[in-house]
Structure 1
């Protein structure tokens, strides 16, 4: 079943392929890709946009079972959410991890790929899910800092769905070396983003990839004007 999308038509003559935007974990399409900063200027430039709403997140379907949200199943649903044909693909954080695989496996026909805030490791595989689930239902805070951070991120959202998503994605940990995109690629990372430490190793895997650092930490980088300007320039807007 396709995932929900927010679709924006170009305001004038089409000037390039559609742009697909994929948000991060425990965020939302409207939060990571606010229309005034992304869909509206892209529409004015003649570009159609699709903001995908991931399972467990605002605007997306619930994730009632981890098996439904393994990486292959999420990728399949994501690819089915946009029309066939060439697209420009932009992902941030978890969205970047999914975008990497969509381009590398050719589940989407990607013309240009932008990966922001991408972690070279698989954090979800290190989460103590039992401790996280206990915590969000009133139990003690997890001792493990990563598990505590994940529990804190999901507590005020659909925690059950988001932790099922963590479990499902962790079953096939992200391994960038296993399959590499072969399309023009821009990687963006915040200068103070601890999540993207080691992104140079990922950039080295992709032929002729561009790597740029922008101001900010993991959240601030995405909100920076430098991030937005770099993406639009790379997409030819």
Structure 2
């Protein structure tokens, strides 16, 4: 695989949505998408397994290799840049740890130290089936509302969130060679703090979005502007990551 790419190259950019959403709901028509197109970047639009136009199995075991499914969308003959929100960000980091030669720069949004913990999939799936009620944890309500409004198959979404765990370790993150812009909202109780993740990533720039929660993160104008700048220029600022955001136990 020819992966050579210096600071002058403009590799394709893969944009990946989070759990419960789709490419179109997250990135379609966004300022980031328009800016990348104006810059002449080839955009790889991906609907994750169980979402949007992708196949949507109802068995959780079918989702055990979501990172491999994502990798199948990437070109085999060049490096890529990537932007991933929440689950999409987790999968990009997993691929970058397993295949570090494939990535140049990554923007990872809505991911903090929750990356290193198992997802509370059973609770989310139960809430997805029951709908939003008075008993639904407040932290999950915006996420569930987005999932229920997305047009996705609820049974497929439940299977995806209950997939077999594939946790990354700090050592695996340390092997990532790509430059990473890690973006967390200071009101994001899903991602939580980013202390451990930021300590493990060797080529990190951090960005805190003030007054922004989990679901709002990919739509933040600051996120979209900084992502475009980072993908064009690379690291331009020291880490600026949150240490006091309280993580939801799920």
TM-score by length of 1: 0.79
**Poorly superposed stretches of 4+, deviation over 6 Å:** none
Q: Which residue in the other structure is 1:193 paired with?
A: 188
User: Are positions 1:101 and 2:100 aligned together?
Assistant: no
Q: For 1:181-217, what per-residue CA distance to the aligned partner results, in whole angstroms no more than 9, with x for missing partners?
A: 2221110111222223211321110113111112322
For 2:215, what is the secondary structure of its paired residue?
Answer: helix
Maintained 8 Å contact 2:171/2:200: no
Q: 1:113: Cα distance to partner?
A: 1.1
User: Are positions 1:26 and 2:23 aligned together?
Assistant: no
Report the Cα distance in structure 2 between the residues aligned to 1:227 and 1:130, rounded to whole angstroms.
29
Maintained 8 Å contact 1:15/1:45: no
User: Are positions 1:202 and 2:197 aligned together?
Assistant: yes
Report the Cα distance in structure 2 between the residues aligned to 1:232 and 1:155, rounded to whole angstroms.
30
Q: Structure 1, unaligned stretches of length 5 or more?
A: 1-13
Q: Which residue in the other structure is 2:71 paired with?
A: 79
Q: 1:65 to 1:123 in 2, by over 3 A?
A: same
Structural RMSD (CA): 2.8
Q: Structure 2, unaligned stretches of length 5 or more?
A: 1-7, 234-250
Q: Which residue in the other structure is 1:235 paired with?
A: 231
Q: Which residue in the other structure is 2:218 paired with?
A: 222
Maintained 8 Å contact 2:125/2:158: no
Q: 1:224: Cα distance to partner?
A: 1.8
Q: What aligned pairs does 1:63-142 form with structure 2 within 5 A after superposition?
A: 63-70=57-64, 73-84=65-76, 85-106=78-99, 109-121=102-114, 122=117, 124-125=119-120, 127-128=122-123, 131-132=126-127, 135=130
Q: Which residue in the other structure is 1:4 paired with?
A: none
Aligned length: 217
Q: 1:76: Cα distance to partner?
A: 1.0
Report the Cα distance in structure 2 between the residues aligned to 1:212 and 1:147, rounded to whole angstroms.
22
Q: 1:142: Cα distance to partner?
A: 9.2
Q: 1:32: Cα distance to partner?
A: 1.1
Counterpart of 2:56 (choices 49, 53, 62) is: 62
